[in-house]
Structures are given as structure tokens and as C-alpha cells.
């Protein structure tokens, strides 16, 4: 069975590549990506589409549209025309919204994407579903943890690695995460199981985490004391908004919880690697990178 991966060198892509070798990489970040796509033999192939422009403060909506929507449309049309077996698309839980209040998000919830990244991923999902002759599967993921993680978790590890007390002791939000290996395993299940055809799933570990818990576990792995003190979340958000950092603070104070029980029921998948197990791996990789 032929396998193609876009984004194979990324954080999730590397974990997926280890499970699907041998595979062929489609480099959607190269200037000649369209020529490479046209030359690829997609007949009967399983295609994993992970490549995307992610959160970038300086990126324009047009850049998100070009990288996350237009390239997905081109791949979907090429896959359908060639008779590919299935296209598995990695999306984001943010197409459903930025935060949860009364209950966790599921795959059946109404979509309320905010910002150009989430909006572009939702448009890409819609384009896949509208492509005639294409068998697809979509996975919406929350924040992914594991060794070598970047982005927000990498920044949080840097913050935890400071000697300063941090004002999150009474932050009792609920954020869902998934380990990179668990997510890669779900993507493979979506490629292989008949129940995943033309269906959307969410991924998450069953245990949500608060910012206080995350910082405590990271500092423990760094051999530091937690050193957290209590400032009400509303006060933190007001102060951050004055400093122009309101959105970043809300990621630390508010909830974004995901219920993946329907994924488990449909595919028999469940996340196995919890944060306590993963934090040691992340900290070791963080220290190696820092050196």
C-alpha cells in the first residue's frame, strides 16, 4: 500500500512517519509543491495531510488561505482524480471554538472558528467534504505534547524554568491535551478502519489539566519547587490585556476541553500517554535543546 505524508518533518509528522514507513513525502513548503504533487502517483494511496501554516502573529489571512485551504483543495482534487484510497486530514479543535464553558467540545458541535488559522482549517475541512469521489477522514486535535514539542508548551517550559513565583495557584481551568504518539496512532486508525470513512473525530486524553497542574508537573521534572501563588484569573486577564497580551493569557486561564469518547466508541482508540509520563520526556528534550 502506497503512503504519502505532507508535513512529515513536523512534530506530529515525525511520529506518524515512524508508524507508516515506508512512505513518500510531499513537501508542500517548497516553491514547486504543485509540480511535485502533479508528479506523485496517488493511485490507491493512503494520504496523510499534516502540512499547514500554524499560529503566526505576522501571517496574513491570505497566507493562511493559500497554505491551509488552497493547497488542501489541490491535494484533494489530485487524490480524487487519481483514485486515492483515503485522505486523512489533521485539523484543530479550534474550528469548534476557543474555549469551553459548560461542557467539553465534541466532533458534533457547531463550528465557531475564530482567527485566520482556525477559519482556514474549517474551510479546508469543508473543501474535503465537498470533493466528489474522495474518501476522507478528519481528526481535530487539541494541544499536542511530547518530546521536542514547540509552540505554547515550549514557551511554558521556559517560563517554568525560571526561578520566579508564578501567579497561577488558583487557576482551575480545564485544558485537554493529547500525546504526539497517541495522535499518530489515531491518524493510522483513521486511515485503516472502514468506520472512519467520511467521518470527523476529536482526539484528547481523558484527563484535562489546569495551568496550575501543568506548571507544577513541569517544575517538578525540572527539579524546581512549584512556587505558585494565587491571583484571580480575571485580574490576570485584565493586566495582560493592558499589556497587549490578553489572548496569550486567556490560553492560560480559560478552559478548552475535548470529549473523545465517541472516537473511542467508533474506532476503539483511546489516548494512553498522560502528562505525568510525557513531562519527563519533554523536559529532557528541552534541556538537550537548550544546551
Count the neighbouring beta carbons within 10 Å of the beta carbon of residue 165. 12
Q: What is the pLDDT of residue 21?
A: 86
Contact status, residue 114 vs residue 97, Cβ threshold 8 Å: yes
Rounded Cα distance between 271 and 282, Å, is 17
How far is C-alpha 40 from the geometric centre of its chain's CA atoms? Answer: 26
Q: What is the pLDDT of residue 56?
A: 72
Tell me: the pLDDT tens digits for 164-192? Answer: 999 999 999 999 999 999 999 999 999 99
**CA dist 185 → 28, 180, 191 (Å):** 23, 9, 10
Count helices and strands (H / E) in the chain: 12, 8
Tell me: the pLDDT tens digits for 94-121? Answer: 999 999 999 999 999 999 999 999 999 9
The residues pairing with 213 across neighbouring beta strands, listed in sequence order, are: none
Q: Which secondary-structure segment (H or E) carries 202?
A: strand 199-202
**CA dist 19 → 12, 39, 49, 103, 184 (Å):** 11, 25, 15, 33, 8
**CA dist 178 → 123, 160, 193, 206, 276 (Å):** 24, 20, 21, 9, 12
Closest CA to 95 of 130, 57, 122, 117: 122
List, in order of start, the domains of the chain with CATH numbers.
Answer: 3-145+176-204+257-272 (3.40.50.720)
Name the residue with cell 472502514.
Answer: 194
Give average pLDDT by consecutive 10-residue segment, the chain, 291 residues: 94 95 93 94 97 84 95 97 97 96 95 94 96 97 93 90 95 96 98 96 96 96 95 96 93 96 97 93 89 72
Q: What is the pLDDT of residue 221?
A: 95
Amino acid at each position: 500500500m502506497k503512503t504519502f505524508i505532507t508535513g512529515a518533518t513536523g512534530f506530529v509528522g515525525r511520529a506518524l512517519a515512524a508508524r507508516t514507513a515506508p512512505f513518500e513525502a510531499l513537501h508542500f513548503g517548497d516553491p514547486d509543491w504543485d509540480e511535485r504533487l502533479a508528479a506523485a502517483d496517488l493511485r490507491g494511496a493512503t494520504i496523510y495531510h499534516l502540512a499547514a501554516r500554524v499560529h503566526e502573529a505576522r501571517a496574513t489571512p491570505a497566507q493562511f488561505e493559500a497554505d491551509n485551504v488552497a493547497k488542501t483543495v489541490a491535494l484533494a482534487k489530485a487524490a480524487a482524480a487519481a483514485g486515492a484510497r483515503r485522505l486523512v486530514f489533521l485539523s484543530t479543535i479550534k474550528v469548534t471554538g476557543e474555549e469551553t464553558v459548560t461542557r467539553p467540545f465534541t466532533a458534533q458541535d457547531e463550528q465557531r472558528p475564530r482567527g485566520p488559522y482556525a477559519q482556514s482549517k474549517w474551510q479546508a475541512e469543508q473543501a474535503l467534504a465537498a470533493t466528489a469521489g474522495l474518501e476522507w477522514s478528519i481528526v481535530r486535535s487539541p494541544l499536542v505534547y511530547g518530546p521536542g514539542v514547540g509552540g505554547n508548551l515550549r514557551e511554558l517550559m521556559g517560563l517554568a524554568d525560571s526561578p520566579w513565583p508564578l501567579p497561577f495557584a488558583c487557576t482551575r481551568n480545564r485544558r485537554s491535551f493529547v500525546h504526539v504518539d497517541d495522535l499518530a496512532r489515531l491518524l493510522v486508525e483513521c486511515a485503516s478502519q472502514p468506520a472512519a470513512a467520511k467521518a470527523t473525530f476529536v482526539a484528547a486524553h481523558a484527563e484535562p489539566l489546569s495551568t496550575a497542574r501543568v506548571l507544577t508537573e513541569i517544575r517538578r521534572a525540572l527539579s524546581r519547587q512549584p512556587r505558585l501563588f494565587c491571583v484571580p484569573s480575571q485580574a490576570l486577564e485584565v493586566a495582560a490585556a493592558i499589556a497587549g497580551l490578553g489572548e496569550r493569557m486567556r490560553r492560560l486561564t480559560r478552559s478548552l476541553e475535548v470529549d473523545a469518547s465517541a472516537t473511542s466508541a467508533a474506532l476503539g482508540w483511546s489516548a494512553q500517554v498522560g502528562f505525568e509520563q510525557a513531562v519527563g520526556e519533554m523536559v529532557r528534550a528541552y534541556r538537550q535543546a537548550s544546551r
